[in-house]
Amino acid sequence: MSADLFSIFIIAIFIENFVLNQILGICPFVGVSNRVDSAVGMGLAVTFVMVLAGVVTWSIQNLFLAPFHLEYLQTLSFILVIASLVQFVEMVIRKTVPSLYQALGVYLPLITTNCAVLGVALLNVRKGYGLVESAVNSLGGGLGFFFALLLMAGIRERLEVAEVPVAMRGAPITFITAGLLAIAFYGFAGLA
């Protein structure tokens, strides 16, 4: 049992990395990865929301939607839960770490539209995970997102001083970097 959980965790972080393997959550990945410190804040916020969302959506799915055969309301109810969770996290961060709140700016409310968060909730249901497995998978997914974001931010800080051809500046160079990172992450597939 614990070995299973461990492998779910590792697979979620490295092998099925949300950003680099499933291509989810690209908007914040590109938007917030230009500085390492905001990347850390965003990564933590997303991980936190993801775990909460994983647990709450699992409960909704199995305690409410499935028994009453309301599965078609899945996406609607999940997104509402995620939106409220994000609102909650936003309030907490604004009260406790105002500087981080400033740094994250518009990207904080946008966690709601981070497809990785909704994605992890939908995938948990699709894979038929139990409560603990869902939580572990969400935690792994969140940390994987955090990890990818951090790597990207580190590389982009270096890129700022590099000479990039004009037409490659901005988004193109970012995606090349993401592509190369994704290739590197393919090496982890051997872990499975």
Partner 1 sequence: MSITNTQGWKVFAEGLWKNNPIFIMVLGICSSLAVTTFVKNAFVMYLGVAFATVFTSTIVAAIRKRIPATYRMLVFMMITSTLVIVFDRLLKLTLPAVSKEMGPYVGLIITNCIVMGRSEAFAMSNTPWLSALDGLGTSTGYGLVLLAIAVLREVLGMGTLLGFPVMPEAYARCGLLISAPGAFLCLTVLLFLANAIRDSMSGGKK
> Which residues contact partner 1 by CB under 8 A?
20-27, 30, 72-76, 79-80, 83, 109-110, 112-119, 122-123, 126, 166-172, 175-176, 178-180, 182-183, 186
Buried/exposed code over 168-190 (b: 16+ C-beta within 10 A; e: otherwise): eeeeebbeebbeebbeebeebee
DSSP code of 129?
-
Residue closer to partner 1 by CB (options 6, 186) is 186
Q: For the CB of residue 150, give the shortest distance to partner 1 in the complex, in Å.
A: 18
CA–CA distance, 79 with 44 (Å, rounded to integer): 20
Closest separation in Å from C-beta 42 to partner 1: 15
CA distance 41 to 51: 16
**Dist. CA 114–CA 95, nearest whole Å:** 23
Question: Which residue, 28 or 99, is less far from partner 1 as judged by CB?
Answer: 28
Is 92 or 176 the residue whose CB approaches partner 1 more closely? 176
Q: How far is the CB of 3 from partner 1 (least distance, A)?
A: 26
